[in-house]
Structure formats: C-alpha cells, structure tokens
C-alpha cells in the first residue's frame, strides 16, 4: 500500500498554522495495469544442483523471480523476455574437473571457464517446465506450447544452468562470471492467443517502470560483484529501514531557508562484514509526481496547494533524485527529515484545514567497499 506522508494545517481563531508529518516506507510496486509484472532479484546468489523440473544433474543459480498478475477480464498470452541489454549465455571461471588424477583417481580440478545458459522455470496450467532461453535473437519465450496462461499469479524463476554436469564442479569452489552480461531485460506479451509473432505484441511495465525500460536482472548493478560459491548461500546482509520520531511543527518554522525537523530516517545494517560499508540510495517522490512537492488541501472542491521542499542528508531533495546515504556499517544510524522552502506568502494566506501529500520512499542498497 502507498506510503502516506500527510500534512495537516490546523487553523483556529488565532490562525496559527501547524504542520504534522507522518511517514511510512513504500517499497517499489506497480499499480493500475490489467497485467501487472513485478521482478525481485535474488540478492544471495549461490550454485547448487538443480531440482525438478530442472535437470538435477546440472549446476544452477537462482537469479530472480518474475510474477505476472492479471486483473479483471485481462488475459496473459505468450509472455517473452527480451535480452536487449544482456546476453543469454555466460561463462563462469572456477575449479572444474574434466578428468581424474592419474594417481589418486580423484577429480583433477583446474581453474577454467565453462558454459552456462539462462533458464525460465515455471508452472502454468498445471504443467511444470524448465525452458532454456537460448534463441539466437533477443526474444525468448518464457513458456512453450501454451497460448493462454490461466495460472494467476504466474510465477517464473530465472536461473543460470551449467552446460556441463554438476559433478565436475568443486563443492565450496568460487566461480566468477568472465563472459556474458547479466544486465537488463524487458517483458513483452502477445495481444491475442495467436502468439508473440502472429498476434501482435505489447511491451509490459515491470515494477511500475516504463514498458520499454530495461529491468536490471541483478541488484545492484549488472554482473555479480563477487564470486558465486557452489554450496550454501552466503549470509544475506539486511537493511532494516523505518521512519521514527514523527512530530508536529509550526509551518512558519519551514519558511524560506528555515528548516523544521518532522521525523528521522533510521537504518539498521546487520549480517555485514565488519570492515565493509553497505550504503544505500534514498529516493523521495510523491504520488502526484509533482516537482516541487505539494501539500493539497483535503475535502474541498478545487483544492489549493502549498509547494514545499524536503531536506535530507544535508541537501534539498528534488523529487526522483538519488541521495546516497554512505558510511553504513553493521549497526544503526539516523538522519533527520526536514521541511523547508515554504513561501512566507503561502504560510500567511493558507486556509485553515487538512493538507496532504503522499510521499514514496525507495531505499536501494548499493555496492560500496
């Protein structure tokens, strides 16, 4: 549900105006589409042997999960993944045994590159399938042989799978992507049961972004920043973000360059390495997509609005801009969220009543050593 950032201007006989800020966090989401597509990258990559319907003799790593949800009378026909900003085959370099040692008979592991392909694993209309996405072009069907997918939601897990058998890889070994690009993709669905090629097709928004935007298959960045282990997944770093100490302020304290604290952003990092930073990007926008932010009077016709700015981490916030929050290690840190930039004229002439703006806060981890 949307994070709500309501502003209330309360007026009495004295015409004193008060601003109250309540903030909740909103994670990325998609709304208002007949077919909604979300994608969640897997942040703890590791190799393991495949499980059905995948080839159980191959080495696989779960990259991320696509979820298609249809609403109303909408139908899902022949979804495709297009690799406009990534490849569909990759080489990982690490210990692999093509033969056994002539004396011990044990696997003779050598550091070498081996081939992997991108796979889509799903269950649709009662049938499970592991489908290799290896078309020579850029368009790859997520399913085969099903013109209309009636399973709702339809969940597709993306993997990379080895071409060589899994017994050739070394348990506990580390593997680095050395060829191919795990970059971004787009999703395209057919308009009719005629299919992707003969029935027309439409690009579909992923996570609420533009339908033609490339969705990163990994977060953050493109290729894995560290080797991927064959074995138990590494302990996942956790960023716990919340808004605390919400408070009421006098609107006149936010006029011009004055700044009035209305809340604190708090982030707690856990499971991280002691000598490493786990920084984040913070993005403030509002539901009305205005620049600057605007408080709109509630429960009236033709409501007036009051422009304002947020101030965070020593900078004035432009809606949609990335604000890095750096120096984050294991532990908890707080930063003030302030309101500023209200014009004196707006403060003096504001009608008594309730004003509201709906703020969306995205917190995105970034790779920082």
pLDDT of residue 189 exceeding 60 = yes
Report d(CA 310, CA 360) in Å as an integer.
12
Provide the strand spans (E) within 191-237: 201-204, 215-216, 228-229
**Using one digit for the tens of pLDDT, what is the confidence trace for 197-213?**
886 888 998 988 888 88
**Using one digit for the tens of pLDDT, what is the confidence trace for 14-48?**
222 233 333 333 333 333 337 889 999 987 789 99
pLDDT at site 300 = 85
Copy the structure tokens of residue 364. 């995105």
pLDDT over 70, % of the chain: 88
pLDDT of residue 249 exceeding 50 = yes
pLDDT of residue 274 exceeding 90 = no
**Those residues with Cβ within 8 angstroms of residue 197's Cβ, 6 or more apart along the chain or in another chain:** none
Which listed CATH number (1.10.10, 2.60.40, 2.40.50, 3.30.420) goes with 5-23+246-365? 2.60.40
Confidence band for 234, pLDDT divided at 50, 70 and 90? low
pLDDT at site 305 = 87
Backbone angles phi, psi at 368, to 5 degrees: -140, 125
Confidence band for 13, pLDDT divided at 50, 70 and 90? very low
pLDDT at site 17 = 29
Confidence band for 57, pLDDT divided at 50, 70 and 90? very high
Report d(CA 260, CA 249) in Å as an integer.
7
Copy the structure tokens of residue 73. 């009378």
In the chain, list all ranges with CATH 2.60.40. Answer: 5-23+246-365
Asked whether the whole model's pTM tops 0.95, one would answer no
Closest CA to 241 of 1, 3, 66: 3
Higher per-residue confidence, 211 vs 5: 211
Backbone angles phi, psi at 129, to 5 degrees: -150, 140
Span 343-359, average pLDDT: 79
Q: Are strands 148-149 and 35-41 parallel, antiparallel or unpaired?
A: unpaired
- Is 216 strand, coil or helix? strand
Query: How high is the mean pLDDT of the chain?
Result: 83
**Using one digit for the tens of pLDDT, what is the confidence trace for 120-165?**
999 999 999 999 998 767 889 999 888 899 999 999 999 999 999 9
Residue 331 vs residues 24, 40, 246: alpha-carbon distances, Å: 21, 26, 22
CB 279 within 8 A of CB 63: no
Report d(CA 197, CA 137) in Å as an integer.
13
pLDDT at site 15 = 27
pLDDT at site 221 = 57
Report d(CA 4, CA 260) in Å as an integer.
19
């Amino acid at each position: 549900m949307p994070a709500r950032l309501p502003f209330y201007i309360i007026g009495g006989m004295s015409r004193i105006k008060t601003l109250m800020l309540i903030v909740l966090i909103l994670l990325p989401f998609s709304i208002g589409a007949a077919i909604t597509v979300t994608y969640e990258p897997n942040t703890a990559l590791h190799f393991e042997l495949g499980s059905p319907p995948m080839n159980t003799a191959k080495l696989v790593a779960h990259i991320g999960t696509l979820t298609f949800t249809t609403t109303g009378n909408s139908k899902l026909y022949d979804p495709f993944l297009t690799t406009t900003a990534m490849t569909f085959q990759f080489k990982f370099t690490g210990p692999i045994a093509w033969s056994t040692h002539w004396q011990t008979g044990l696997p003779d592991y050598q550091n070498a590159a081996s081939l992997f392909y991108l796979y889509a694993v799903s269950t649709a209309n009662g049938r499970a399938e592991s489908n290799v996405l290896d078309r020579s072009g850029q368009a790859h069907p997520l399913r085969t042989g099903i013109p209309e997918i009636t399973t709702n939601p339809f969940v597709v897990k993306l993997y990379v799978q080895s071409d060589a058998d899994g017994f050739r890889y070394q348990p506990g070994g580390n593997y680095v992507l050395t060829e191919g690009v795990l970059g971004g993709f787009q999703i395209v669905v057919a308009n009719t049961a005629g299919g992707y090629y003969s029935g027309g097709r439409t690009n579909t928004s992923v996570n609420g972004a533009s339908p033609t935007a490339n969705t990163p298959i990994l977060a953050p960045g493109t290729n894995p920043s560290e080797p991927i282990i064959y074995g138990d997944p590494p302990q996942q770093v956790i960023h716990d973000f919340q808004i605390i100490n919400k408070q009421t302020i006098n609107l006149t304290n936010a006029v011009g360059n004055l700044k009035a604290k209305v809340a604190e952003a708090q982030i707690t990092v856990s499971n991280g390495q002691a000598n490493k930073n786990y920084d984040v990007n913070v993005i403030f926008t509002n539901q009305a997509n205005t620049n600057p932010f605007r408080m709109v009077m509630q429960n009236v016709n033709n409501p007036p609005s009051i422009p304002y700015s947020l101030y965070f981490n020593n900078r004035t916030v432009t809606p949609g801009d990335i604000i890095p929050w750096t120096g984050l290690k294991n532990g908890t840190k707080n930063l003030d969220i302030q309101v500023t930039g209200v014009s004196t004229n707006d403060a003096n002439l504001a009608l008594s009543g309730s004003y509201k703006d709906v703020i969306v806060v995205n917190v995105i981890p970034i790779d920082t050593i």
